Amino acid sequence: MLCIYIFLLLTLSRVGLSSLQEKQTDFGLKVFLQLSQDSMDKNVVFSPYGLASVLSMAQLGAAGNTHKALTAALGFSLRGAIPVFLEAGSLSDETRMVLLNALHFQALWKVPFDPTLTQERIFHCPNGSTIPVHMMRLTSHFNYGEFVTNDGVDYDVIEVPYEGDSLSMLLVSPFEPEVPLSELSAALTSKKIQQWTTELRSVKRRLSMPRFILDSEVNLKQALLNLGLRDMFSLATADFTRITTDERLCVSKVLQRVKIEVNERGTKGAAGTAAVMFSRMAVEEITLDRPFLFFIQHKHTGAILFMGQVNQPQQQ
C-alpha cells in the first residue's frame, strides 16, 4: 500500500485564494449540517479544513465525470492552483491509494481563565436533562455581537482570542433556550461567518463556559453521498485515471477522527481525515449553560480549522 501525504498550504498568497477558501468553507459547513442533522441531541466535532484538503487531493486525481461530479459538489477546483502532485505513470499496477490529512492544533488563550474561579454549574441539554459541568469564568473585553437569522431566530456571537491573535474561537448560541442548534446550523455560510467577524464590537463581558472534551470518529461517506458525491465511491463509475490507468480506483470510505479539549489555559485539538481512496440573566453576562456552537478560525484566511456543537459537555 502506498500512502501519499499531501500538505496543501492554503495560507500562501495566490490569486483567487480568498474565493477558494470561502468555497471550501461553504462545502465544509454543508457537510457539518448533514452530520448535525443525524445527531440532533449529541455532540459533533468536525474539521472542515481537513475534509476539504483531502477531497481536493482526490479531485486532482479524478478525470471525466468523476472530476465533474467532485467539482460540482465541492463548488471549487484546484486544477491550475497547485502543481500536479503525481506524474503520469509514477504508480505501479500494484499501487493502492490512501489520501491522508493530519491537523494538530494547540493554542493558549490570549487571556487565560483563572482556575480558582471555575465552579460546578448545571448545563441544560437539548433533551431536557441536566448535567453538572465545570464552568470556567473570565471577565474581559471580547468582540461580541447580536444577530438574527432570516427566520427570525436571535442569537449572539462572542469571540475568544488565542495568544498571538491569528486564531480565535467563535462561540454561538441562540437567545431562547427552546431553539435547537439546527436553526443556526442550517443558515451557516462563509459569508455569514465573515459578517460576524466584521460586525463584532469590543465590549466588557463576563463569560462563563464549560470545560469540555469532544472525541469523535465518523465515516463521512453517507454525508458526502447526500451532497451528490456518488461517482467516486463506485468502482463502476469512479474515474481516477489521472492517478493511474493500469487499474480502476474508487474511494471506499472517508474517515475523520477529531479530538478537542478546551480548558482554562487554552485548546488542544487534533484531526485526522482519511479518504480510503440558550434567557440571558443580563447582557453583561454570557453564560453558556446550554447547547452552543463553536468555530476555531484562522483569522487571516477565514479557514475553519475545527467546529462543533456542544450538547452534552464531556469532562475529565
Domains in the chain: boundaries: 2-7+16-103+217-258, 107-214+260-310
Beta bridge partners of 266: 108
How is 22-85 classified by DSSP, letter by letter?
HHHHHHHHHHHHHHHHT-TTS-EEE-HHHHHHHHHHHHHT--HHHHHHHHHHHS---BTTB--S
Round to whole Å and give the CA distance between 251 and 234: 7
Q: What is the mean pLDDT of each run of 10 residues along the chain (316 residues)?
A: 31 48 89 90 91 85 86 70 43 52 87 95 93 95 95 95 94 92 92 94 95 90 92 87 81 88 94 65 76 94 92 83
Phi, psi of 109 (to 5 degrees): -60, 145
Residue 141 · residue 202 · CB < 8 Å: yes
Rounded to two decimals, the pTM is 0.86
pLDDT at residue 117 in the model: 94
Radius of gyration, alpha carbons of the chain: 21
Round to whole Å and give the CA distance between 256 and 102: 10
Specify the 3-state DSSP secondary structure of 191.
helix
Dump pLDDT digits (tens) for 79-90.
544 444 344 544
Distance set, CA 278 to CA 1, 124, 151, 172 (Å): 49, 9, 17, 10
Q: Homologous superfamily of 107-214+260-310 in CATH?
A: Alpha-1-antitrypsin, domain 1 (2.30.39.10)
The four Cα atoms 113, 293, 310, 179 give a dihedral, to 10 degrees, of 120
Q: How many CB atoms lie within 10 A of CB 298?
A: 16
Architecture of domain 2-7+16-103+217-258: 2-Layer Sandwich (3.30)
Specify the 3-state DSSP secondary structure of 224.
helix
For 271, the grid coordinates are: 484531526
Dump pLDDT digits (tens) for 163-215.
998 999 999 999 998 899 999 999 899 999 999 999 999 999 999 999 999 98
